[in-house]
Structure 1
Amino acid sequence: MVSEEYIGRINIILRFIDNNLDNQLSLEKIAEKASYSPFHFHRIFKAITGEPLNAYIIRKRIEKTAGILIRQKGARVSELSLQYGFSSNSSFTRAFKKVYGISPSEFRKLSPGKYSKICKVESKNGQENQIFEKYICNINNQITWIKMNAKIEIKEFLETDIAYVTQIGVEGIEQAFDKVLRWGRSKGMLENSNTKIARIFHDSFKITDPDKVRMSICMFLDKEMKAEGEIGMDSIAGGKHIVSRFEITVEEFEKSWSGLFIWMNENGYQKSAHDPFEIYHNNFNDHPEKKCIVDFCIPIK
């Protein structure tokens, strides 16, 4: 079993990597930041994330460029390849195609509201490639869903401190929520009705495999606290946000997020560099229809 100390240090490194994808990220540099030898750090990192460090960094850089390409149609592939550490445009294209099954230029032509990275198929040469598949609901249906089920506002948020647990992939997410709740209960925070539980998405299900999506399951804090083992401390950046209140079942979350991002694009808003998140206002098990009352929040420029 991986110790809480290891998890706490890897939490710091994951944030560091996210913030430095366009800088040089060597094993030696990252291991030094984590206060471990390169050999020891590499073993710990793979045990916690399920990926070797270099593979993780390459994947994150590819996914970062994918997000830019699908949101910014004017982005130049050659500039992105150099910015994110690839020796040439051809090496970047090969790495990109290995993940998505199509070239960066083809990827850029896709509509962000229509497509999602949700399956693997056999290519003609028998090798598995990641591809895009259309959502069942078309754009018009998703906009209609949003109009019928969401109350959307533009709100200004102040920077908010959080205590969090890192969760990679959808499997085991209930345990991550339970860890945060147990920690909050031990601190007496659940006695405060204003205490909120949230989930931050550091990756997008549109461009990252579900078993590799990194999330922070977190609790909002009203005072400064210290990290404890796998409970890390961070903050949600302040600024302008699209905030949409839903009362939905667990099965309707994907549809709601997809529709909200379509609404954002249709209304001329642009997502900022910060991560979207959910704020929960009830325990769905206590709801007569097992529904979640939840705010979906997208930081915008």
Structure 2
Amino acid sequence: MSNLPEEYVHRTNTVVNFILSHLSADLRLKKLAAIANYSPFHFQKVFKQVTGETPKQYIIRMRLENSAHFIVNQDYKTVTEIALSSGFASPSTFARAFKSYFGICAEELRKLTPKEKIKFRRSMGTKSTNVHLFSQGYSPDYWRRNLEVRVSKLQTVRAVFVNLPLSQPKKIERGFRKVIQLVEDFNLINEGSKFIGVINPHAELYQAGITFQSGQSLPKNVDIAELEGGRFAITKVKGPSLTTFHSLHAIHQFWLPKNNYRIKHSYVFEILEHNPLDEAYHRIEREIFIPIEVVPSI
């Protein structure tokens, strides 16, 4: 990707961000090409150069992995509801695609025990993502003793960001350098700016960013992420990115089953305490924010 024109990466990032935010929408090639401001033929070529997949392949994979995430975490919804909300045209289309991709029926996945679901979450890493990082070297005893979680509300967060591979820490550090330079060039950074990383495990995507105020005007050639405000489970970590994955795994295993909350979205984000240019990423304390919602009483 480093040898590709910056314009290709920027326009593809814009489309990827749109896809992840609109999985249930009509995502035809012509529509996505218009967002990138390319012809459909050229867009398809550029998208594959940047992501390694055609737009259709990428969309199907994101819809499948998004649906698997919610089948595991949102048992109050039917499989059909999840399939349709993930963008599949019909239950039968979803059922065939799901079984072909994961080797298990969606209904079978739902019937797994909590431990079996954790094992399934690990196995998702054998596909095109790196979700296995959630459990690689994971110590249940350590996290059972040390996991501390608080719940708080947060307003909508807006950030300038760059897309990076989730499983490559060195690229994440370089990504923060790039986005910091970008906001400094356009004088977007201020005392209230925060260094933020959006983690999309099922998209194998890390978005390194810096928050900005809603009133600030932005140039057209920057990528912007908007994270919906609401209620979050928050925990603190320090160490390599693997520590972040382990904390998320522990929240699924130990905290959620004992509390009256459920996962709301498939992404999480972290806010870094210090500027990653001044201190190595693995030495910075980070707050991890997991979007949650209250489980309604029956």
TM-score range, shorter chain: 0.7 to 0.9
- Quick one: which amino acid aligns to residue 178 of structure 1? R
Structure 1 residues 52 and 176: CA distance shift in structure 2, 3 A: same
Structure 1 residues 298 and 98: CA distance shift in structure 2, 3 A: same
Give the RMSD, CA atoms, in angstroms.
Answer: 3.4
Q: How many residues align?
A: 280
Q: Could you report, residue by residue, the CA deviation over 1:47-86 in whole angstroms, capped at 9, with x for unpaired residues?
A: 1221101101110110121111001224333444455324
Q: Counterpart of 1:214?
A: 205
Q: What's the CA shift for 1:120? A: 3.8
SS of 1:25 mapped into structure 2? coil
Q: What's the CA shift for 1:140? A: 5.7
Q: Is the 8 A contact 1:23 1:85 kept in 2?
A: no
Q: Counterpart of 1:280?
A: 272
Structure 2 regions of 5+ residues with no counterpart?
A: 294-298
SS of 1:300 mapped into structure 2? strand
Moved over 6 A (4+): 130-134, 284-288
Q: Counterpart of 2:261?
A: 269
SS of 2:151 mapped into structure 1? strand
Q: Is the 8 A contact 2:273 2:286 kept in 1?
A: yes
Q: Is the 8 A contact 1:31 1:38 kept in 2?
A: yes
Counterpart selection for 2:164 from 164, 167, 181: 167
Q: What are the residue-to-residue correspondences of 1:1-301 with 2, within 5 Å? A: 1-83=3-85, 84-89=87-92, 91-110=93-112, 111=114, 112-113=117-118, 115-117=121-123, 119-120=125-126, 135=135, 137=138, 141-146=142-147, 150=148, 152-171=149-168, 172-187=171-186, 192=190, 194-201=192-199, 203-204=200-201, 208=202, 212-222=203-213, 223-227=215-219, 229=221, 231-262=222-253, 263-273=255-265, 275-282=267-274, 291-301=283-293
SS of 1:170 mapped into structure 2? coil
Q: Could you report, residue by residue, the CA deviation over 1:217-245 in whole angstroms, capped at 9, with x for unpaired residues?
A: 1001135131453x312322222222222
Whole-angstrom CA distance in 2 between matches of 1:131 and 1:291: 23
- Quick one: which amino acid aligns to residue 300 of structure 1? I
Q: What's the CA shift for 1:179? A: 0.8
Q: What's the CA shift for 1:138? A: 6.7
State the identity %: 25
Structure 1 regions of 5+ residues with no counterpart?
A: 122-127
Whole-angstrom CA distance in 2 between matches of 1:176 and 1:237: 23
- Quick one: which amino acid aligns to residue 246 of structure 2? K
Structure 1 residues 40 and 167: CA distance shift in structure 2, 3 A: same
Q: Counterpart of 2:296?
A: none
Whole-angstrom CA distance in 2 between matches of 1:293 and 1:93: 42
Q: Is the 8 A contact 2:71 2:82 kept in 1?
A: no
Q: Is the 8 A contact 1:100 1:132 kept in 2?
A: no
Q: Is the 8 A contact 2:15 2:36 kept in 1?
A: yes
Whole-angstrom CA distance in 1 between matches of 2:9 and 2:126: 31
Structure 1 residues 104 and 280: CA distance shift in structure 2, 3 A: same
